[in-house]
Every structure is written in structure tokens, then in C-alpha cells.
Amino acid sequence: MKRLNSKSGCAVEVTLSVMGGTWKPIILFHLLHGKKRFSELSKSIGSITQRMLTLQLRELEDAGIVLRTVYAEVPPRVDYELTALGQSLKPVLIAMRTWGTAYAKDRLYDAQPPSWAQLCASDTPHSIPLQ
């Protein structure tokens, strides 16, 4: 596991160094309901390239947030799931979804939300309680 170097000692900085960025929170959100294969993640996220998804998953795995399981099958099968440490981010991810929904409703569009806005609202983790 890579050692984090937080210059300020700020806990928020440490958190963002582990799960910040454009793609990591989205990947983590999609893993809240359990194991997913690479192709399932790629399809559910949509606009992420395979290379970027691979890089982000590796970083999350190195941080101990995501567990990668390789099965000795033909064709090869690889599953990704949250570790206990990754599951501990659930309240953070739910809070981000709640805040983003309210912000988008108030600030980003007036009448009809764009189709991307429905992604987190209608994706499989939608049944995750907002508490």
C-alpha cells in the first residue's frame, strides 16, 4: 500500500487523496451494492475509458478500498467489490449524492434535468437509504 504524504495534515486532504477526482467517487458509488465485473462498471459509468477505469481501480485497490478477485476461468473473470474500509465510505458517498442532487436542482437546470443527472438517481444504488 502506498504511503500518503499529507503536507498539511488535514484529514480532508487525506480523504481526497484516496477517493477524490472525477472517477473514483463514481466507481465507488457503483460498487456500493456489491461485486461488479469490469464490463459492468464500464457500462454503468458510461463515459470512462477502459484505461482510466483500470488505473482508477488499481489506485483504489492499492489504497485498500477495493478488492479485486481473479477467477481461474476461461474466459478470465475479475470481480471488484468494496472492502470493509471501502464500505466505510458509504455515508460520504450518500452525502455527496444528496448534496449533488440538491445543488443540481437549484443551480444547474430549471425544468427538466439532463439525462446524466438521472444516473445516480436511477442507478442500482438508488435503493440505498439516504441516511
Delimit the domains of the chain by residue range. 11-127
pLDDT in tens, 74-92: 988 999 999 999 999 999 9
The pLDDT assigned to 49 comes to: 95
The pLDDT assigned to 85 comes to: 97
Rounded mean pLDDT of 116-125? Answer: 50
Reported as type and span, the H/E element at residue 25 is helix 24-30
The pLDDT assigned to 28 comes to: 97
- Residues in the chain, overall count: 131
> Cell 467517487 appears where?
25
From the candidate CATH numbers 2.60.40.10, 1.10.10.10, 2.30.110.10, 3.40.50.720, the one assigned to the domain spanning 11-127: 1.10.10.10
The pLDDT assigned to 125 comes to: 46
Residue 71 three-state SS: strand
Residue 52 predicted with pLDDT over 70:
yes
